[in-house]
Amino acid sequence: MSDFKYAGVIGGGAWGTAMAQVCARAGLAVTLQAREPEVVEAINGRHENPIFLPGVALEEAIDATTELSDLAPCDFILAVPPAQHMRKTLEAIRPHLRDGMPVMLCSKGLEQGSLSLMAEVLRETIPDAAPAVLSGPSFAGEVARGLPAAVTVASPDEGLARALAEAIATPQFRPYLATDIVGAETGGVLKNVLAIACGISEGKGLGRSAHAALITRGFAEMTRVAEALGGEAETVSGLCGLGDLVLTCSSPQSRNMSVGLALGQGQTLEEALAGKVTVAEGVASAPAVRDLTRKLGVDTPICEAVAAILAGEVAVDDAIRGLLHRPIRSEH
Ligand SMILES: NC(=O)C1=CN([C@@H]2O[C@H](COP(=O)(O)OP(=O)(O)OC[C@H]3O[C@@H](n4cnc5c(N)ncnc54)[C@H](O)[C@@H]3O)[C@@H](O)[C@H]2O)C=CC1
Ligand SMILES: O=C(CO)COP(=O)(O)O
């Protein structure tokens, strides 16, 4: 049995709310910090999050607040803001955390500018935190409704990964353990960019064969990037890599895939994102992934094509033509 009894969740979006739900179902006390007072009011008063997770009845045990200081007594933190806001979020929570606080990073993105994964951002902002990563195929709506899901919980401290996993596990939410946080994070970053590619393919009506080719060649890109960053191919072959790639590339429930779908159907990026309060992380991560892989000298043609389309540097049809006209090469 884990000693963790009290979880603090930062971020009242769909995934932060779903993770608070998981923690409450696992029997933990939970405080969820959200930026929006109306989200806090709805969670505490009506046990729902109508802005980011509409239509889901939330556990009454979830206590919401706008104040990061209210997370001070927690045994561990789940950090779930959009990746581009992770640094300032961690800087803001830092004064309220005790030394060595376990922080489980649940966001999936690469920081623009620094080209840092979230664990690097954590190391720079709260150097004495004990890092962990939670990632895997898990749509917030499904998880929050109690449908089954399995994820990777990774930490270089195997004992911490186990303690966190045991604390949050329920019969519906099954964590597997890993020690490779670089691999675990890289999978989550790239699958979002690759899901945009799959959405574009779907929107253009390119068929199931193209879809399978994109997933497979995208997985090759993911593996190369993870290894170049010091992660392991075995990690990305698991839930946090291949598993999440398959999920996110296969359902318009994915915000990333649906952005791609809209682009493939001829919308501009501005049109595809118009009026959305939710985040499609691949849009912000794609240029950072391109900068990083060029720096690393890793070949990622699909991610490059997505970055170029999103930046308006190339038309969708030209990007597809470019991918299909690459020189014939060895598959492995
Ligand atoms: N929704 C899902 O099914 C899953 C999402 N994730 C990851 O969780 C992370 C958060 O995504 P969601 O909870 O889905 O978000 P969301 O799209 O439901 O909501 C947007 C979130 O962004 C926050 N936000 C907006 N502007 C901000 C700012 N300036 N500073 C800080 N926060 C700001 C909002 O308060 C809200 O919490 C992302 O990295 C995503 O990839 C991971 C697994 C599943
Ligand atoms: O990460 C997710 C599922 O594992 C959610 O994907 P989207 O952010 O594309 O909706």
pLDDT along the chain (332 residues), means of 10: 91 98 98 98 98 98 98 98 98 97 98 98 98 98 98 98 98 98 98 98 98 98 98 98 98 96 98 96 98 98 98 97 95 92
Nearest to 234 by CA among 222, 250, 245, 246: 222
Q: Is 16 annotated as a binding residue?
A: yes
Nearest to 94 by CA among 131, 117, 125: 125
Would you state the pLDDT for residue 1?
Answer: 56
- Alpha-carbon distance 285 to 96, whole Å? 29
Proximal ligand: closest to the CA of 68:
1
Say how far residue 238 (Cα) sits from the centre of its chain: 15
Choosing from 279, 285, 289 the residue with most ligand 1 atoms within 8 A of its CB, the one to mutate for a pocket test is 279
Q: Which atom of ligand 2 lies closest to the CA of 137?
A: 4
Per the CB < 8 A criterion, the answer to whether 195 and 252 are in contact is: no
User: Can you list the alpha helix ranges (DSSP code H) found in the chain?
Assistant: 14-25, 37-46, 86-93, 118-125, 140-144, 158-168, 181-203, 207-228, 233-236, 244-248, 255-264, 269-273, 281-296, 301-310, 316-324
- In sequence order, what are the beta bridge partners of 177? 153
Would you state the pLDDT for residue 2?
Answer: 78
Which residue has tokens 């075995």? Answer: 234
Q: Whose CA is nearest to atom 10 of ligand 2?
A: 254
Sign for the pseudo-dihedral over CA of 139, 140, 145, 146: positive
Q: Which atom of ligand 1 lies closest to the CA of 192?
A: 41
**What domains are there in the chain, each with its CATH number?**
6-179 (3.40.50.720), 189-325 (1.10.1040.10)
Assess whether 88 carries a catalytic annotation: no
CA angle 62, 57, 162 (to 5 degrees): 50
Q: Which atom of ligand 1 lies closest to the CA of 36?
A: 35
Q: Which residues in 125-143 are b (16+ Cβ under 10 Å) and which e? A: bbeebbbbbbbbbbbbebb
Centre of ligand 2 from the C-alpha of residue 255, in Å: 6
Choosing from 22, 186, 248, 255 the residue with most ligand 2 atoms within 8 A of its CB, the one to mutate for a pocket test is 248
- ipTM for the assembly: 0.99
Centre of ligand 2 from the C-alpha of residue 158, in Å: 26
CB atoms within 10 A of CB 49: 31
Nearest to 240 by CA among 254, 222, 216: 222
Q: Which atom of ligand 2 lies closest to the CA of 192?
A: 9
What the block records as the tokens of 285 is: 């991560």
Which residue has tokens 């309060």? Answer: 277
- Alpha-carbon distance 189 to 130, whole Å? 21
CB of 135 shorter than 6 A to ligand 2 = no
- Alpha-carbon distance 143 to 311, whole Å? 33
CB of 290 shorter than 6 A to ligand 2 = no
CB of 152 shorter than 6 A to ligand 2 = no
Q: Which of 5, 88, 191, 295 is catalytic?
A: 191
Per the CB < 8 A criterion, the answer to whether 135 and 160 are in contact is: no
Per the CB < 8 A criterion, the answer to whether 143 and 173 are in contact is: yes
Spell out which residues line ligand 1, taking CB within 6 angstroms.
Answer: 11-16, 35-36, 52, 80-83, 85, 89, 106-109, 138-140, 278-279, 281
pTM over 0.95: yes
CA angle 218, 220, 225 (to 5 degrees): 95
Per the CB < 8 A criterion, the answer to whether 197 and 260 are in contact is: yes
